[in-house]
Chains A and B, each alone.
Chain A
Amino acid sequence: MRHVLAGMNRLGGLWLLLGLAAVLVLPWYKVAAPHTGEGVALWGSAAGQVLAGRIWLLPPVLAMLAFSLVRLRSDERWQSHPSILWIAGAAAGLFLLQAFAIGLRGPAFDAVGQVFPLATMGQPGLGLGGFLFGIAITGIIADALAARGFCRGERFAANAVIFVVALLSLFVFFPILRLGGAALFTPEGVFQPGVFVTRFTAPDLWGLGCFVGQGRCGVVINTLILGISSGVLSTLLGLALALLVARTGFRFKGALRAISILPIITPPFVVGVAIIVLFGRTGLVTGWLEYLFDIPRTRWIYGLPGILLAQVLAFAPITFLVLLGTIEAINPTLEEASKTLGAKPLKTFQSVTWPLLRPGLAAAFLLAFIESLADFGNPIVLGGGYDVLSIRIFFAVVGARYDLGNAAVLSIILLSLTLGAFWLQTRWLGRKSYVTITGKSDAGLVAPLPGPLKGAAYAAVVPWVVFTLGVYAIILIGGIVNDVGRWDLTPTFRHLLTAFSLEIGPDGVQFFGSAWNSLHTTLLVSAIAAPLTTAIGILTAWLISRQDFAGKRSFEFGTMLSFAVPGTVVGVSYVAAFNVPPVDITGTMAILVICFMFRNMPVGLRAGIAALSQIDRSMEEASQTMGANGLSTLRTVVLPLIRPAIFTSMVYAFVTAMTAVSAVIFLVSARHNMATAYIMGRVENGEYALAIAYSAVLMLIMIASIALIGLLIGKRQLGRRTQLQNTAPALPTA
């Protein structure tokens, strides 16, 4: 057993078996490729395709055969020879090259057709064989790198790094690049780079008409106005909440924290619907105002005011948690020092507390700003004529005029805005954080909030609480009364029955309700996505905080970047990338799962990094000196110790998969419809009660699931961990 290392550098047996099966046995393509007239095309594997004349598939087959020969020789010097890496790299490169050079309808460039005449017949997307070859060659490359000292020769870590990089490249960066490429094509599919400029400078993007009283502003300007107002208002409200909780004797702190969790488990649209039910032209509050004060009914809620209202409701809890963290981290002795120097409470707040809060305020603002830009659910319900980028992108793809190129340009603008904000956030936080954690307990008492500020905080918080309670009251009862919009509160189950009726007959349970289909898919997809998301997030966290390897900084940056891409952009980029071979997986359930995995992985990543930084590294070193390799150390020591982070990640991944809309709205299909897409359809049809009923059911399922995951993982401290998950995105990259 002392000579394990010698065996470690050997050409991986598992990967080799997988690769051989992939090129010799399994069908290479997703569907049968057109018959070429040569050889026996019955045999669908890569080897068979080569015999049928598709000689561009030769490199993968040859590489695997060559590796098998090397493996059969028991000489270890051969098996860890540098040329293995070169051969594997070349095979992988040629594999990718042919996949992109020869599309469904033929070669991408005429030259390819001249070299391989059969390429003009085109080739379908990759199937089982093709995908498994990709996995196998990635693994072989990782093993070969480990043999050359990558990750200090740790085979498991090397594989983990290479696979995470490959997955991120395929499912985060490749789609974005494809999207960028799509921006250069006209709707008719003609390559024409000039069209980018035309689209980018379109007057309906950048118009400033609303400032000078001449009509509307451009959609980019609208988006910015919304993002900035939403950021400022959410930050101020979050600050008021945080100050009340941290610096006053406010009695309902627990309740406030509980309320702050609500937006996370609230499905999209439903808040918008509740706001319409309250403030729409025929809304309850609108009606009362007319009855009591003769205020005429208007549609004021549609547009900027409505969206802002809904967004502030949703984002204030996030900013609250960020700012609470900042306030609680301020060392009270600083304020005491100010007072001993003669400053009055208000002066102390202004000259000491406020400056110390500024980094937190900036972080909270940018967070809300990014969220606002990425928001899709609220603008589509409440937008009216107020156009924002996410909506415009959606209609460019889903609307009457399918124009992927235009969607791509809009996506690039949106992406630049969020990336810019994200960059500012990390940069600002990286330099300007005054919070110092010394590990010493703070002496001194926190300063109570000065009187005038306390008044202002209450003035902001009380309406918000009333408003929140109103909205959730509508959600709570809307589904089980006849028509909450007309204040017809006769209890009824008809909405629930429309959605969820079922009959238990002799043939088992029959699901008649219109919502069952989407609910099944949603639960299934979420249940599959949650553990996978957690696995990749935690694994990546472990790689970043515990392994040293070449290119680690870029690796870290890449994983963080995927966090900053708005859902709408992800959705469009997936459409651009995965509608066509080689990886045509749109319309499958897999693409939904994959989408969630890479959208939500950063939360597991942040939670994992935070948890790992709390764990003494010598624990893992102890495990190593006792003979455990990377994988068994991870399994027996690290994972049990970071269970809270795993819990956070699982809950977040599950809940977001159930409530996400911006990306999946592009990816759902008739066969695999998601609950949120179904609800959006109901909202568009004006079936508000049904939408509310379904949302309420979803929320109940989510609460039950969180409890269940808690039981499964073993520990349950929802409050603290929810806080962790929310503040996590604002932390600077370590």
Chain B
Amino acid sequence: MTDTAIEFVDVVKCYGAVTAVDTINFSISRGELVTFLGPSGCGKTTSLRLIAGLELPTSGTVRIAGEDVSTRAAPDRNVGMVFQSYALFPHMSVIENVAYGPTIRGSDKKSAIARGHEILSMLGLEGLGKRLPSELSGGQQQRVAVARAIVQQPDVLLFDEPLSNVDAKLRRRVREEIRDLQRRFNLTAVYVTHDQEEALAVSDRIIVMSNGKIAQIGTPRELYESPSSRFVADFIGDANLIEGQIENGAFRAPGLSLPLPATSRTGPAVISIRPERIVLKKSGSDGKVKSASYLGSRREYRVETAYGTLLVSAPISAPALEPGEEISVILSPGGYTLLSDA
């Protein structure tokens, strides 16, 4: 057994003239939770379905647990999937739903049901086996969907936007549950979401996708702190993108000069600065507060400077600034990232 659970090599998926997934490569290790993140239509769900075998690649290779499964459809792969709508069979009881997979794959009914009950109690659903899915709460339904997906000890567990049907307030708890479960069973999991906060919270690594291509792969921290492109910088969290030139090892824009010790590039460039990495000080001539909003846990300002309008997030402990105030703007070294695209 290799440590690589899933591997995509030059995978392409076309629907007629539309290319949904365009030559993507990545690999996922065993026991890892990796998230596909991106706006709708970026190819993240198609990628997930390619892992599930619900779509077969137009070209390229998909490997699961070291085996080439590119031409195998879903029934011939060993994956578990939790669907956005849960897709519980409404005409079957909870236990019938959970025992469905083992029965289909040839277990006798008795042991399938025993196994089903075992999983149900591990997920805190004991006693609900006889109910119909419609008689459960949303959270319980989701846990049944998870139980059904992991009962066959899949090589990989897939989640397709599992929180989109969950109450906004419950989301944090449910995503913690999912993460906890994945760690407890040491599952390899792939998760699809368009919500960057959710992705940052649950993932070991995130694969950011855009227009069918991979924009960047990295840990949540890497993606947030050193985005490689405008797209990633903008999509994950808020970012101030400043255009300028690199000259003599420094980034220069009107009224701004930031040292870039490690680069040998010259010419036009863009840097990204996170709003909370900017410090504003009363009195100065770097810029002027345009608007201020109080958000409870922090304050947000729009600041006009010579190199553009900045979004700044200030801790609530810092002194409040009023619109119209002249201020100084402090950009600490390490608080900005040079993007690879100009």
Contact = CB atoms under 8 A, between A and B. Distances in A.
The yes or no verdict on A and B being binding partners is yes
Interface of A: 1-5, 152-154, 616, 618-619, 621-629, 632, 636-637, 640-641
Contacts of B23: none
B85 A618 contact: yes
B73 A626 contact: no
Given A626-B101, A626-B152, A627-B104, A621 B81 contact: yes
Contact of B74 (A616, A625, A636, A640): A625
B79 A625 contact: yes
Nearest to A3: B76
Contacts, number: 82
A625 B160 CA distance: 13
Given A625-B158, A629-B75, 16 more contacts: A4-B76, A5-B72, A154-B73, A618-B83, A622-B83, A622-B89, A622-B148, A623-B100, A624-B54, A625-B75, A625-B81, A625-B149, A626-B100, A626-B148, A627-B104, A628-B75
A623 B54 CA distance: 11
Contact of B87 (A2, A4, A619, A629): A619
A628 B102 CA distance: 10
Given A5-B72, A618-B85, A625-B54, A641 B90 contact: yes
B106 interface: yes
Nearest to B74: A624
Interface in B62-100: 71-81, 83-85, 87-91, 100
Q: Is the interface of A mostly helix, strand, loop or mixed?
A: helix
Contacts of B84: 618
Closest 5 CB pairs of A and B: A626-B101, A624-B74, A618-B87, A622-B87, A618-B83
A623 B80 CA distance: 10
Nearest to A153: B73
Interface size on B, as a range, is 20 to 34
A640 B73 CA distance: 24
B54 to A, nearest CB: 5
Contact of B71 (A5, A640, A641): A5
Nearest to A639: B91
Interface in B148-183: 148-149, 152, 158, 160
A625 B104 contact: no
Interface string B202-227: 00000000000000000000000000
A625 B76 contact: no
Q: Is the interface of B mostly helix, strand, loop or mixed?
A: loop
B91 A641 contact: yes
Contacts of B91: 640-641
B275 interface: no
Contact of B80 (A152, A619, A625, A637): A625
B53 interface: yes
B6 interface: no
Contacts of A625: 52-54, 74-75, 77, 79-81, 149, 158
Nearest to B52: A625
Nearest to B78: A2
Interface centre among B76, B84, B158 (most CB of A within 10 A): B76
Interface in B35-59: 52-54, 56
B173 to A, nearest CB: 24
B105 interface: yes
Contact of A632 (B76, B81, B83, B104): B104
Contact of B104 (A154, A628, A641): A628
Contacts of B53: 624-625
A152 B76 CA distance: 13
A5 B87 contact: no
A624 B158 CA distance: 14
A616 B84 CA distance: 11
Given A1-B105, A625-B52, A626-B148, A619 B89 contact: yes
Given A626-B101, A626-B104, A627-B101, A621 B87 contact: yes
A1 B72 contact: no
